[in-house]
Chains A and B, each alone.
Chain A
Amino acid sequence: MIGLGRARPPRIEGILPWLAAGSVALSLLMLAGLLSLLAVRGMGHFWPAPLTLVTLDDGRQLAGQAVREERLPDAAGRERLYLTANRDLDGAIWTWVDLEVIAEESRPRDLVVVERTRWGTFQGRLLALENDEGRVEGEAAWMALQAHLEELAVLRAERDRLRDDVVVPLVKRLARDPRAESELARASARIHELQARITGGSLLLESVDGRRLEQPLEQVLRAWRPNAMSPPAKMAAWSHGVWRFLAEGPRAANSAGGVWPAIFGTVLMVLLMSVVVTPFGVLAGIYLNEVAHQGRLTHLVRIAVRNLAGVPSIVYGVFGLGVFVYGIGGSLDEWFFADRLPSPTFGTGGLLWASLTLALLTLPVVIVATEEGLARVPDNQREGALALGATRVEMLTRVVLPMTAPAMLTGVILAVARAAGEVAPLMLVGVAKLAPQVPVDGEFPFIHLERKFMHLGYHIYDVAFHGDDVQAALPLVYATALLLVLVILVLNLTAIFLRHHLRARHGALPRR
């Protein structure tokens, strides 16, 4: 029986198919390599890595996570880099150890890692815990620490919720609402009370080489014993770490903590940009292809639009800064926000101006995609509609545009992919190094278009180059880069899904 299927073109002989297939394979390989590098380096950061207790020939000891090995400069041997943490004790968190001088390596189960709000993490042993209930030592101290940290987490969550959802809005209402004062006083009292309960207690810690440290408990965020954890426990800790990375705000000048405000800022800005660019681009495409007289001027405009797509993005940033921020924003401030001058409201970079700048940047993409979609609608469809008594507008809205919708969405997909990855223009028109408050909240007008925002792309740049320890920031850079790719992927998948849905409803256009 002869199977039914698509007729295959005759095989091309010679080296060409190999070259072509090889290029595809190479591209795929590089893409897979990029993604796996990001995934392994980035996501590996959240895995509770084992702590090695290293004893050197001269008897000194250190506890650290092996990071990588390198050849010694004179090629005499190899040395290994350990993350030893304890910045407050050592003044650094990295230690290079010559492999030759390592006498013994072990992984004692009692080594503990303590994550703190100051000085980074601590690695060593827990000797005792002291709080208002008394002092406990040894294994009991570990149990007490776990219980205490859980309690602390609850208290901190309530304090932060009170501060963000109650106190901040109250302070803003203070000027016009007399009742706010008493409410504010009550909330402040409660916060003070919580703060008092958070404060107090300390840990007695000891590094593996015997230096002791008194650690106030309020600065401790988490503690774990990586060598004593079972794989499921590590898995749970890993997912918790990833979740905190996604859901929390950054700490310690972006070198720790999560990236939630940056995710939110990126997505919100891209969505705003799509909302602006889609109608403009589609209308411009319709005008150029359907309305305008197809003469020399239209041809010139078309060429100009295509060339706009090639203008470097930083140029758009300069344009946005000059026209949107200083021009329009400055005027808006003079007209509507004069009472706040000289501190600018719209006259400085912000979400709105960034979205508009990126909309301008991606406008050519949408116009070109729309035009190509319109050109693909066969003339007999248009004539069919006209011959039934449709006006040109009815022909456009009822027959041509529904058939072009998938092509327009393709344009939006390309625009989103381009916009989400742009960083250069944003530096000029509104991205911020740190803006822990997301630009959407419960306060009128809910979306604060004038606020500065964080962006994953800029966050990568900032973490990679503006931290004091690039080595420590590197895993976060990888993780954030992976996240940026994923965010773009999700945005695109949404649009692709929508396009597929439209195609199913309106039928696919014949391929040109």
Chain B
Amino acid sequence: MSVFSSPRPVAGGPIIDFNPADCCLEIERLSLAYGETSALRELTLRVPRHRVTAFIGPSGCGKSTLLRALNRLHDLNDDVRLSGRIRLEGQDIHDPEVEVAELRRRVGMVFQAPNPFPMSIYDNVAFGLRLQGGIRKRQLDDIVEWALRSSALWDEVKDRLKSSAWALSGGQQQRLVIARTLAVRPEVLLLDEPASALDPISTLKIEELIRNLKSQLTLVLVTHNMQQAARVSDYTAFLQEGELVEYGTTDTLFTNPRLARTENYITGRMA
């Protein structure tokens, strides 16, 4: 039972009213339902450019659903009904003029479980580029190296680029997937619990990578690990039952939440 009923844009907590010029993604009154089950309700949120924004919340709160809506992965599911607006750099991503493949190239996504393709390390990174075509071998080599360096994997794999990606460890695979996504030069990188399947050291590497990448692109991170959100994000949004409860700078949200619901969740008092 929500005290702060929608569609008020300020769903209780302060919604940071970024200057539209600083916004990369604008989500406006987004509702989404799987068949009869409502997953997101009238959600409004702005994601700042070149920052790390974290979505936190209990399981089933809709944070992954929201993330997948940002690059239209829900298109594949016929049962999903969606209303509201998502703008990427001012353009509605559901506009008929927008080509979904191009949108997904601009908004890259890394999933919870590492999903390298059953090909060589090199081919994995080059996959997205080859889809675009028209890139010469030399150029391809350079971009692959750049992407692997950006994801801090180059030193570990530079001698075995031709070997299978499935032979890498879980942490390496996840960094490879990030490199693969970076190689197509996305503007936004969506990370869906990217470290939940990894060991602590790999997790630290991924987190460091996330912090380093924000100079190049906008990152949106979904996590159920609040320490992780606190460590890497600049802004944090707390979602519950498909609604945005509170949104603010990470420091404020974690040290001085405005709402009791947020505080209960952060301090672990919520079941």
Q: Which residues of A contact B (CB under 8 A)?
A: 293-294, 378, 380-391, 394, 398-399, 402-403, 506-507
Whether A384 contacts B164 by the Cβ 8 Å rule is no
Enumerate B105-148 residues with CB–CB distance to A below 8 Å.
105, 108-109, 111, 113, 115-119, 127-128, 131-132
> Within 8 Å CB of B254, what residues of A?
none
* B167 nearest in chain A by CB position: A507
Q: Do most interface residues of chain A lie in helix, strand or loop, or is the interface mixed?
A: helix
Whether B118 contacts A506 by the Cβ 8 Å rule is yes
Whether B111 contacts A389 by the Cβ 8 Å rule is no
Whether B127 contacts A378 by the Cβ 8 Å rule is no
> Within 8 Å CB of A384, what residues of B?
111, 115-117, 177, 180
Whether B71 contacts A387 by the Cβ 8 Å rule is yes
What's the minimum C-beta distance from B68 to chain A, rounded to whole angstroms?
9
What are some 16 contacts across the A-B interface (CB < 8 A)?
A: A381-B115, A384-B116, A384-B177, A385-B117, A386-B73, A387-B111, A387-B181, A388-B105, A388-B128, A389-B132, A390-B104, A390-B131, A391-B101, A402-B118, A506-B118, A506-B119
Enumerate B21-66 residues with CB–CB distance to A below 8 Å.
none
Distance in angstroms between the alpha carbons of A381 and B127 in the assembled complex: 13
Is B219 in the interface zone, CB < 8 Å from A?
A: no
> Within 8 Å CB of A403, what residues of B?
118
Whether B128 contacts A389 by the Cβ 8 Å rule is yes
What's the minimum C-beta distance from A385 to chain B, rounded to whole angstroms?
7
* B164 nearest in chain A by CB position: A507
What's the minimum C-beta distance from A412 to chain B, rounded to whole angstroms?
21
> Within 8 Å CB of B118, what residues of A?
402-403, 506-507
What's the minimum C-beta distance from A48 to chain B, rounded to whole angstroms?
56
* A503 nearest in chain B by CB position: B118
What's the minimum C-beta distance from B166 to chain A, rounded to whole angstroms?
5
> Within 8 Å CB of B184, what residues of A?
388-389
Which of B108, B111, B115, B180 gathers most chain A CB within 10 Å?
Answer: B115
Which of A378, A380, A386, A398 gathers most chain B CB within 10 Å?
Answer: A386
> Within 8 Å CB of A391, what residues of B?
101
> Within 8 Å CB of B131, what residues of A?
388-390, 394, 398
> Within 8 Å CB of B113, what residues of A?
380
> Within 8 Å CB of B166, what residues of A?
507
User: Knowing that A384-B115, A385-B117, A389-B101 are A-B contacts, what are 16 other residue pairs whose CB atoms are under 8 Å apart, sorted by A's residue number?
Assistant: A380-B111, A380-B113, A384-B117, A384-B180, A386-B76, A388-B131, A388-B180, A389-B104, A389-B128, A389-B184, A390-B128, A391-B101, A394-B101, A402-B118, A403-B118, A507-B166
* A508 nearest in chain B by CB position: B118
Query: Given that A293-B78, A507-B164, A507-B166 are known contacts, is A386 also in contact with B115, CB under 8 Å in the complex?
Result: no
Enumerate B59-105 residues with CB–CB distance to A below 8 Å.
71, 73, 76, 78, 101-102, 104-105
Query: Given that A387-B73, A387-B109, A389-B184 are known contacts, is A378 also in contact with B104, CB under 8 Å in the complex?
Result: no
Distance in angstroms between the alpha carbons of A366 and B144 in the assembled complex: 38
Q: Which residues of B contact A (CB under 8 A)?
A: 71, 73, 76, 78, 101-102, 104-105, 108-109, 111, 113, 115-119, 127-128, 131-132, 164, 166, 177, 180-181, 184
> Within 8 Å CB of B164, what residues of A?
507
* A388 nearest in chain B by CB position: B128
* A294 nearest in chain B by CB position: B78
Which of A380, A389, A391, A403 gathers most chain B CB within 10 Å?
Answer: A389
What's the minimum C-beta distance from B141 to chain A, rounded to whole angstroms?
19
What are the 6 tightest A-B residue pairs by CB atom distance, in nearest-first order? A507-B118, A389-B105, A388-B128, A387-B109, A380-B115, A384-B115
Query: Given that A293-B78, A394-B131 are known contacts, is A388 also in contact with B115, CB under 8 Å in the complex?
Result: no
Distance in angstroms between the alpha carbons of A272 and B128 in the assembled complex: 38
Distance in angstroms between the alpha carbons of A387 and B104 in the assembled complex: 5
Whether B73 contacts A399 by the Cβ 8 Å rule is no
> Within 8 Å CB of B71, what residues of A?
387
> Within 8 Å CB of A389, what residues of B?
101-102, 104-105, 128, 131-132, 184
Whether A398 contacts B127 by the Cβ 8 Å rule is yes
What's the minimum C-beta distance from B36 to chain A, rounded to whole angstroms?
17
What's the minimum C-beta distance from B121 to chain A, rounded to whole angstroms?
13
Whether A388 contacts B181 by the Cβ 8 Å rule is yes
Distance in angstroms between the alpha carbons of A387 and B113 in the assembled complex: 14
What's the minimum C-beta distance from B207 to chain A, rounded to whole angstroms?
21
* A392 nearest in chain B by CB position: B76
Distance in angstroms between the alpha carbons of A378 and B114 in the assembled complex: 12
Whether A383 contacts B132 by the Cβ 8 Å rule is no
Distance in angstroms between the alpha carbons of A507 and B180 in the assembled complex: 19
Distance in angstroms between the alpha carbons of A384 and B181 in the assembled complex: 9
* B76 nearest in chain A by CB position: A386
Distance in angstroms between the alpha carbons of A398 and B101 in the assembled complex: 15
> Within 8 Å CB of B108, what residues of A?
387-388
> Within 8 Å CB of B101, what residues of A?
386, 389-391, 394
Distance in angstroms between the alpha carbons of A386 and B103 in the assembled complex: 10
What's the minimum C-beta distance from B224 to chain A, rounded to whole angstroms?
18
> Within 8 Å CB of B104, what residues of A?
386-390
Distance in angstroms between the alpha carbons of A402 and B127 in the assembled complex: 14
Distance in angstroms between the alpha carbons of A399 and B127 in the assembled complex: 10
Distance in angstroms between the alpha carbons of A378 and B105 in the assembled complex: 21
What's the minimum C-beta distance from A432 to chain B, rounded to whole angstroms?
47
> Within 8 Å CB of A398, what residues of B?
127, 131
Query: Given that A383-B115, A507-B118 are known contacts, is A388 also in contact with B127, CB under 8 Å in the complex?
Result: yes
> Within 8 Å CB of B109, what residues of A?
383, 387
> Within 8 Å CB of B102, what residues of A?
389
Distance in angstroms between the alpha carbons of A287 and B102 in the assembled complex: 25
> Within 8 Å CB of A293, what residues of B?
78
Whether A381 contacts B117 by the Cβ 8 Å rule is yes
Distance in angstroms between the alpha carbons of A391 and B128 in the assembled complex: 11
Whether B111 contacts A385 by the Cβ 8 Å rule is no
> Within 8 Å CB of A382, what residues of B?
76
* A386 nearest in chain B by CB position: B104
Whether B127 contacts A383 by the Cβ 8 Å rule is no
> Within 8 Å CB of A402, what residues of B?
118
Query: Given that A386-B104, A389-B104, A389-B132 are known contacts, is A399 also in contact with B117, CB under 8 Å in the complex?
Result: yes
Distance in angstroms between the alpha carbons of A382 and B73 in the assembled complex: 11
Distance in angstroms between the alpha carbons of A507 and B165 in the assembled complex: 10
What's the minimum C-beta distance from A316 to chain B, rounded to whole angstroms?
36
Distance in angstroms between the alpha carbons of A293 and B71 in the assembled complex: 22
What's the minimum C-beta distance from B81 to chain A, rounded to whole angstroms?
16
